[in-house]
Structures are given as structure tokens and as C-alpha cells.
Amino acid sequence: MVKDPSRQTYHFFMRSTKQMYYDPGLHNADIGIAMSHFELAARENGLDGRWQVSDPGLRPVPPGTEYRVSWFGA
């Protein structure tokens, strides 16, 4: 996760791992769990926002890392 220093925006990235799941789609479940935890913590701290896929174009990123989603604070 990378926070935009100028606003309440957080960009989520996922990096491939060597750990193998029986179903390759479970990596997507991992990012979903991270998003859920982030949103719950944000709400608990009185922050409102929304999820949107909007690649911020941050480069370079480590090999095997890809952008997934951003959370934009209201």
C-alpha cells in the first residue's frame, strides 16, 4: 500500500509470491481481505471514502508487483 502524500488516497498493490495455492484465484481473495481490513479500520477512525480502480502510475515498482485498487478518502 502506498499513501498519496498530498491527500487521503491509498493505492493497493499485490506482489506475486512463490507460495502456491490450490486455486490461483486465492491471491485475489488476499487483496480482498486486505481491502476489508483497511475499510473497517478507516470507518472505526471516522474516515469515509470509496474504492476505485485508478492506477496512479507509480513507477518503478518491484518485479512481480502490480497495481490493484485505490481508496479515495472523502
Question: What is the C-alpha to C-alpha distance for residues 65 and 14, in angstroms, rounded to an integer?
Answer: 5
Question: What is the C-alpha to C-alpha distance for residues 41 and 43, in angstroms, rounded to an integer?
Answer: 5
Question: What is the C-alpha to C-alpha distance for residues 35 and 23, in angstroms, rounded to an integer?
Answer: 20
Report pLDDT for 15: 84
Report pLDDT for 52: 98
Report pLDDT for 20: 66
Beta-bridge mates of residue 2: 11
**Count of domains for the chain:** 1
Question: What is the SS3 assignment for 61?
Answer: coil
Report pLDDT for 71: 98
User: Which pLDDT tens digit goes with each residue over 5-62?
Assistant: 999 999 999 987 766 666 666 667 788 999 999 999 999 999 999 999 999 999 898 9
pTM of the model: 0.82
Range of the domain at 42: 2-73
Beta-bridge mates of residue 9: 72
